[in-house]
Amino acid sequence: MASRLAYYEKKAEILKVLGHPVRLCIVNGLITKECNVTGIQECLKLPQSTIFQHLSILKAHGIIKGKRNGLEITYSVVNEDVIRLVRAFMEEAQPFQKG
């Protein structure tokens, strides 16, 4: 029974992380297209420091990963449960876009 509860606690923690509108928007956008911090910042019109804070939380929970190419880090969603959940939940929402 304890292991079953641990399973639900882990899933609930992911839901808590996705419960912030900025993180939900970032994940929804990264499901559609890998992006770097500058691209995310331009789309969301938020300070880079704010974007970095949210990316850090998403990385810490195993939802996204960063791939370094020189000085640039490109982020993508790696958690398949999150991809399925966000796609179903955000079916009609537009991912972040410039402008």
Residue 83 lies in a domain: yes
Domain total of the chain: 1
Residue 95 lies in a domain: no
Residue 78 lies in a domain: yes
Confidence label for 96 from pLDDT (cuts 50, 70 and 90): low
Token duo for residue 70? 């020189």
Alpha helices in 37-79 (DSSP H): 37-44, 48-60
Contact between 96 and 32 under an 8 Å Cβ cutoff? The reply is no
Contact between 97 and 39 under an 8 Å Cβ cutoff? The reply is no
pTM of the full structure: 0.87
Confidence label for 23 from pLDDT (cuts 50, 70 and 90): very high
Residue 94 lies in a domain: no
Residue 96 lies in a domain: no
- CATH code: domain of residue 13: 1.10.10.10
Q: Encode pLDDT of 47-78 as tens digits.
A: 999 999 999 999 999 999 999 999 999 999 99
What domain range is 73 assigned to? 2-89
Residue 97 lies in a domain: no
